Chain A
Amino acid sequence: MSFDDISVLLLWTAIAVYTLGFLAFTVDLARRSELAIVAQDAKAQAQARTLVAAGGGQTIDEIRAEEAAAKVALEAAPSQRGRFLFARLGVVLTTIAWLFHLGADVTRGIAAGRVPWSNNYEFALTGTLLVVAVFLGVLVKYDLRFLGAFINGLIVVLLGGAALAYYVEVVPLSDPLKSVWLVIHVFVASLASAFLAIAFALSVVQLLQSRRERLALAAVGTDAAPRTRLPFLRTLPSADVLESLAYRFAIIGFVLWTFTLIAGAIWANDAWGRYWGFDTKEVWTFVIWVVYAGYIHARATRGWRGTRSAWLSIVGFTAVLFNFTIVNQFFQGLHSYSGLPS
């Protein structure tokens, strides 16, 4: 068995374990939903018993208390976190999957005799490895386990897709790729994408949360209990908190992306004799950079903070994914060493 065969085997094992992790995290969310509903029902019963006139809607104070509790939970040290059984299982499974994933990446690198990020298959392998690494690393500081289902789901889709659609045998590098900039530029781009991925996940949850909050606030003082299809959101941090968390990831991603842009230009200047030529790949790197610059501005602009800026973060990461999949595959560009200028 060659190193590359081992790598593929480890990769599929990792995908399988990530899938289990995804299931565990999903069960965790479902159980949080249950908790939220039980709490709601208990309150309704209590109210029925004491014949309180007010209906199912929460009071402002209750909403604020819920938010404060969620924020404390978010920032709690690992030892003081809620002991959600399935969330812990999810973390353990994700960590195991990540180790297999790391093994797959390293053996691929050994098989190729170079860094394992020089074609689409390998970008996917390393990029997703970094997403999970950042996610697991961040768990030490913030209790973001509620993102676990989202992250694991994303990873399973991306890795599975890459293994099926992008797999290529190890081939020698083409000459322009033989450069230290391959090591630096591509790695930093992947790392940037990893931070932007987490920001994206947080922005998505933020949108869901802010919708729920709107409904909850509208229901204050009315009879109608606010109905949401995702009751677990009540146990998560408020949209505001999610937003500034997303922003923190996005700015780290943005600085790394800025570096990627500059490093790419330096490399292009060595390989092709110009630092910038609006080649398709360059165009998309630029577009992504500008979208995130827009996002940062939006966060500071009256009327744009909140939902609108969250959409920009989502658009930005969609562009990252688009750049990696569609642009790499289908767009004509300079990123091959053809032989001659025509």
Chain B
Amino acid sequence: MSRRSSDPRADVVDGPLRPGDHLDRTEDRLDTAARERDQSDGVAQPALGFVGWLRWGWRQLTSMRTALVLLLLLAIAAIPGSLVPQRSADPNGVTQWRATNPDLYPTFDALQLFDVYTSVWFSAIYILLFISLIGCVLPRTKHHWKALRARPPRTPARLSRLADHAETTVPVPEGEDAAGHAAHAVDLAEAQLRSARYRVERYDRNGVASVSAERGYLRETGNLVFHGALVGVLLSVGIGGGFTYTGQTVITEGDGFVNSLGLGYTSFNPGRFVDTEALTPYSITLDRFDVTYAPGSGQAGDFAAHVTTRFPGQDPEDQVIEVNHPITMAGDRVYLMGNGYAPTITVRNGAGDVVFSESVPFLPQSATMTSQGVVKIPDTGGEQLGMVGFFYPTVAELDTGALTSAYGDLLDPRLTFFVYEGDLGIDDGTPRSVYALDTDGMTEIAGRNADAPSLELSPGQTVDLPGGRGTVTFEDERSAGAPESVKRYISLSIHNDSSATWVLVFAILAMLGLFTALFVPRRRMWVKATPDGDEVRIEYAGLARGEDPAIAVAVADLARRHADTLGEEPASAPVSPANVD
């Protein structure tokens, strides 16, 4: 079994350094004094003074109990972030939450419940935890460094007091003296332990030979590597964040993107130390976007964006971006995040002049790609126009008469518009989403609340705007040589995070450290031979340092194999009390 609380540890000092309230704490004198002080808590405590209090506080912070409480607090504190939408992961969720709970919102916001993982309270917990961790690991590392070069400790006087213990007596062969035979037996044991990768030290005294052996220093090394690597992960994430940037962009078939802040991105979030002027100006052009539709369910999949990438002054290259398979451009990783339809719309004013002609990306609203998009026309020659459109790649009519899309592919595309006239609200410089129309300052001129019905178009069709304001055309791209009537677009996410490699390295280190810390047994073994008349009494004992389910078996094995190598039938078979408590 594993260690027992009744182990006579007083005999065997100097294990790995543990916090004061660790079960396995080795009891050196200094610490006993500290503990006595702790125990006198409240009772006529000696005045500690400022430095004394600091030391007391530090000892509390770096104790096992504090680490444990902080760990449990960390687990609890992480939970709200899964119940309440987070600004970092789901900004729209936060907006929605605010709309449905307007009364609670200010309180929740004040408590930083929408930014749990950057909140003061969450940060406080993990920062304290890591201070505790560092304060705990540094002295242990120093101690372990010394222990690595120290010799195994002196053989305890009474091995029989150890829980895992076996004993046998062997006769001294003709012509040898007892002490000589004892030394010989221990020589054999020493060789045996050494070949089992124990570090060994002989302690022969007054004719009594003994060897002290220890193995499994790797256990403590693993523990320290594990805890140290956790600090490494935290630092990589924290420092690396400053050098990370992420950006989003949307590309329609036939169009391109240039990696430059002004030109390419729809949104861009640089870390503190990112030089946004120094981006490599590569470009990506979307040649074709492939989707397959599963027979039956019609589920879309196997998304593949066929792109041409170019670095200035180099030959273009054809590449494919797929989900799970980003491409790498100058250290940036380029991910396929989404896709949709971008119907090409041409609007002419009453005089017949083209006032708008673009492929407009529509945001998918459903699995069957019912999509919504917005057209804003500031310069019509008259009042500004805004149109809110719905696109159905395979149109179908619901019982209510409303339209929907029955399938994700372009089987029977249809486009509808509500049209508004008035102030688009973009002249005053307020940033507006290209996917939303603020209709506050506008009048609906075609649609549900207007005299004229909403516009409805199939590819290639042109319809009139009400009141002679002009026409709207839903271009059929096939007439321009495209394979499909409506162009598709992709949204890309572009990331540069060089710290990710470091995070991975530390994570793997942590994993390896953990493995050794948990599964390498650390144990001490002793073999002692005491001459006793014309016999030699041989004792074997083991002591587990930390969890070690196999210690009893190990001692029994040692005794058996030693008896075998001694080459003689033992006078009495080794008795191992290890298995019977």
Measuring CB to CB, which residues of chain A are less than 8 angstroms from any residue of chain B?
64, 67-68, 71-72, 171-176, 178-179, 241, 244, 247-248, 251, 254-255, 258-259, 262, 265-267, 269-280, 283-284, 286-287, 290-291, 293-294, 297-305, 312, 327, 331-332, 334, 337-342
Please name all residues of chain A whose beta carbon is closer than 8 Å to the beta carbon of B68 when the two chains form the complex. Answer: 294, 297-298, 301, 304
Let me know if B493 and A273 touch, CB within 8 A. Answer: yes
B421 at the interface (CB under 8 A from A): no
Question: How distant is the Cα of A293 from the Cα of B363 in the complex, in angstroms?
Answer: 43
Q: Return A240 CB to nearest CB of chain B, in Å.
A: 8
> Which residue on chain B has the smallest CB distance to residue A273?
B335
Question: How distant is the Cα of A254 from the Cα of B515 in the complex, in angstroms?
Answer: 10
Let me know if A302 and B22 touch, CB within 8 A. Answer: yes
> Which residue on chain B has the smallest CB distance to residue A269?
B500
Let me know if A301 and B23 touch, CB within 8 A. Answer: yes
Please name all residues of chain A whose beta carbon is closer than 8 Å to the beta carbon of B514 when the two chains form the complex. Answer: 254-255, 258
Interface residues of B in 512-543 (CB under 8 A from A): 514-515, 518-519
B504 at the interface (CB under 8 A from A): yes
Question: How distant is the Cα of A287 from the Cα of B82 in the complex, in angstroms?
Answer: 10
B573 at the interface (CB under 8 A from A): no
> Which residue on chain B has the smallest CB distance to residue A67?
B581
The one of B24, B325, B338, B510 in contact with A300, judged by C-beta atoms closer than 8 angstroms, is B24
Question: How distant is the Cα of A267 from the Cα of B325 in the complex, in angstroms?
Answer: 10
The one of A276, A287, A340 in contact with B78, judged by C-beta atoms closer than 8 angstroms, is A287
Question: How distant is the Cα of A254 from the Cα of B71 in the complex, in angstroms?
Answer: 15
Interface residues of B in 75-91 (CB under 8 A from A): 75, 78-79, 81-83, 85-86, 88-90
Please name all residues of chain B whose beta carbon is closer than 8 Å to the beta carbon of A259 when the two chains form the complex. Answer: 511
Output the residue of B67, B88, B323, B518 with the most chain A CB within 10 A.
Answer: B323
Question: How distant is the Cα of A278 from the Cα of B495 in the complex, in angstroms?
Answer: 17
Let me know if A175 and B23 touch, CB within 8 A. Answer: no
Q: Return B545 CB to nearest CB of chain A, in Å.
A: 12
Let me know if A175 and B503 touch, CB within 8 A. Answer: no
Question: How distant is the Cα of A314 from the Cα of B28 in the complex, in angstroms?
Answer: 36
Let me know if B297 and A171 touch, CB within 8 A. Answer: yes
Please name all residues of chain B whose beta carbon is closer than 8 Å to the beta carbon of A266 when the two chains form the complex. Answer: 504
Q: A275-B500, A297-B68 are in contact. Are A175 and B303 (CB under 8 A)?
A: yes
Question: How distant is the Cα of A270 from the Cα of B299 in the complex, in angstroms?
Answer: 22
Q: Return B109 CB to nearest CB of chain A, in Å.
A: 18
Question: How distant is the Cα of A269 from the Cα of B303 in the complex, in angstroms?
Answer: 18
Let me know if B23 and A248 touch, CB within 8 A. Answer: no
> Which residue on chain B has the smallest CB distance to residue A274?
B495
Question: How distant is the Cα of A298 from the Cα of B69 in the complex, in angstroms?
Answer: 9
Let me know if A278 and B117 touch, CB within 8 A. Answer: yes
The one of B88, B363, B508, B581 in contact with A64, judged by C-beta atoms closer than 8 angstroms, is B581
Let me know if A278 and B21 touch, CB within 8 A. Answer: no
Contacts A278-B88, A291-B75, A297-B64 aside, 20 further interface pairs with beta carbons under 8 A come to: A171-B294, A175-B322, A244-B547, A258-B511, A270-B325, A272-B337, A273-B493, A275-B500, A275-B503, A278-B81, A278-B89, A297-B71, A299-B547, A300-B23, A302-B22, A303-B21, A312-B72, A332-B90, A340-B338, A341-B491
B74 at the interface (CB under 8 A from A): yes
Contact with A along B346-385 (1 / 0, CB 8 A): 0000000000000000011000010000000000000000
> Which residue on chain B has the smallest CB distance to residue A178?
B324
Question: How distant is the Cα of A286 from the Cα of B230 in the complex, in angstroms?
Answer: 14
Let me know if A172 and B299 touch, CB within 8 A. Answer: yes
> Which residue on chain B has the smallest CB distance to residue A312?
B72
Q: Return A294 CB to nearest CB of chain B, in Å.
A: 4
Please name all residues of chain A whose beta carbon is closer than 8 Å to the beta carbon of B507 when the two chains form the complex. Answer: 262, 265
Question: How distant is the Cα of A287 from the Cα of B78 in the complex, in angstroms?
Answer: 7
Let me know if A283 and B82 touch, CB within 8 A. Answer: yes
Interface residues of B in 14-31 (CB under 8 A from A): 18, 21-24
Let me know if B511 and A294 touch, CB within 8 A. Answer: no
Q: Return A313 CB to nearest CB of chain B, in Å.
A: 13
The one of A254, A262, A302, A337 in contact with B323, judged by C-beta atoms closer than 8 angstroms, is A337
Question: How distant is the Cα of A265 from the Cα of B508 in the complex, in angstroms?
Answer: 12
Let me know if B518 and A300 touch, CB within 8 A. Answer: no
Q: A339-B364, A340-B337 are in contact. Are A172 and B324 (CB under 8 A)?
A: no
Q: Return B335 CB to nearest CB of chain A, in Å.
A: 4
Q: A175-B301, A262-B507, A294-B71 are in contact. Are A302 and B64 (CB under 8 A)?
A: yes
> Which residue on chain B has the smallest CB distance to residue A309?
B68
Let me know if A172 and B301 touch, CB within 8 A. Answer: yes
Q: Return B344 CB to nearest CB of chain A, in Å.
A: 19
The one of B23, B324, B503, B580 in contact with A305, judged by C-beta atoms closer than 8 angstroms, is B23
Q: Return B390 CB to nearest CB of chain A, in Å.
A: 15
B579 at the interface (CB under 8 A from A): yes
B316 at the interface (CB under 8 A from A): no
B280 at the interface (CB under 8 A from A): no
Please name all residues of chain B whose beta carbon is closer than 8 Å to the beta carbon of A294 when the two chains form the complex. Answer: 68, 71-72, 75
Please name all residues of chain A whose beta carbon is closer than 8 Å to the beta carbon of B363 when the two chains form the complex. Answer: 339-340, 342
Q: Return A337 CB to nearest CB of chain B, in Å.
A: 7
The one of A71, A171, A254, A340 in contact with B581, judged by C-beta atoms closer than 8 angstroms, is A71
Please name all residues of chain A whose beta carbon is closer than 8 Å to the beta carbon of B24 when the two chains form the complex. Answer: 300
Measuring CB to CB, which residues of chain B are less than 8 angstroms from any residue of chain A?
1-2, 18, 21-24, 64-65, 67-68, 71-72, 74-75, 78-79, 81-83, 85-86, 88-90, 92-93, 116-117, 237, 246, 248, 294, 297, 299, 301-303, 322-326, 333, 335, 337-340, 363-364, 369, 435, 491, 493, 495, 497, 500, 503-504, 507-508, 510-511, 514-515, 518-519, 547, 549, 579-581
Q: A262-B508, A291-B72, A300-B64 are in contact. Are A244 and B549 (CB under 8 A)?
A: yes
Question: How distant is the Cα of A331 from the Cα of B93 in the complex, in angstroms?
Answer: 12
Q: List 8 A-B contacts (CB under 8 A).
A: A67-B581, A71-B581, A271-B324, A278-B86, A278-B89, A290-B78, A300-B18, A341-B493
Q: Return A153 CB to nearest CB of chain B, in Å.
A: 28
Let me know if A300 and B299 touch, CB within 8 A. Answer: no
What 8 A-B pairs are tightest by C-beta distance, nearest first? A340-B338, A175-B323, A273-B335, A339-B364, A301-B64, A290-B75, A283-B82, A294-B71
Question: How distant is the Cα of A49 from the Cα of B92 in the complex, in angstroms?
Answer: 81
Question: How distant is the Cα of A39 from the Cα of B338 in the complex, in angstroms?
Answer: 71
Please name all residues of chain B whose beta carbon is closer than 8 Å to the beta carbon of A254 when the two chains form the complex. Answer: 514, 518
Let me know if A301 and B65 touch, CB within 8 A. Answer: yes
Q: A175-B324, A284-B82, A290-B74 are in contact. Are A273 and B301 (CB under 8 A)?
A: no
> Which residue on chain A has the smallest CB distance to residue B507?
A262
Let me know if A179 and B82 touch, CB within 8 A. Answer: no
Please name all residues of chain B whose beta carbon is closer than 8 Å to the beta carbon of A174 when the two chains form the complex. Answer: 299, 301
Let me know if B495 and A273 touch, CB within 8 A. Answer: yes
Q: Return B92 CB to nearest CB of chain A, in Å.
A: 5
Please name all residues of chain B whose beta carbon is closer than 8 Å to the beta carbon of A286 when the two chains form the complex. Answer: 78
Let me know if B92 and A342 touch, CB within 8 A. Answer: yes
Please name all residues of chain B whose beta carbon is closer than 8 Å to the beta carbon of A274 when the two chains form the complex. Answer: 246, 495, 497
Q: Return B491 CB to nearest CB of chain A, in Å.
A: 6
> Which residue on chain B has the smallest CB distance to residue A290?
B75
Q: A277-B88, A278-B88 are in contact. Are A338 and B338 (CB under 8 A)?
A: yes
The one of B1, B65, B335 in contact with A244, judged by C-beta atoms closer than 8 angstroms, is B1
Q: A262-B511, A272-B335 are in contact. Are A244 and B301 (CB under 8 A)?
A: no
Please name all residues of chain A whose beta carbon is closer than 8 Å to the beta carbon of B508 when the two chains form the complex. Answer: 262
Q: Return B81 CB to nearest CB of chain A, in Å.
A: 6
Let me know if A179 and B89 touch, CB within 8 A. Answer: no
Let me know if A340 and B364 touch, CB within 8 A. Answer: yes
The one of A280, A304, A341 in contact with B248, judged by C-beta atoms closer than 8 angstroms, is A341
Question: How distant is the Cα of A272 from the Cα of B333 in the complex, in angstroms?
Answer: 11
Let me know if A339 and B299 touch, CB within 8 A. Answer: no
Q: A172-B299, A247-B547, A302-B21 are in contact. Are A273 and B326 (CB under 8 A)?
A: yes
Please name all residues of chain A whose beta carbon is closer than 8 Å to the beta carbon of B67 when the two chains form the complex. Answer: 297
> Which residue on chain B has the smallest CB distance to residue A172?
B294
Please name all residues of chain A whose beta carbon is closer than 8 Å to the beta carbon of B493 when the two chains form the complex. Answer: 273, 341
Let me know if B324 and A248 touch, CB within 8 A. Answer: no
> Which residue on chain A has the smallest CB distance to residue B70?
A294
Please name all residues of chain B whose beta carbon is closer than 8 Å to the beta carbon of A290 when the two chains form the complex. Answer: 71-72, 74-75, 78
Question: How distant is the Cα of A91 from the Cα of B79 in the complex, in angstroms?
Answer: 39
Let me know if A175 and B21 touch, CB within 8 A. Answer: no
Question: How distant is the Cα of A301 from the Cα of B21 in the complex, in angstroms?
Answer: 6
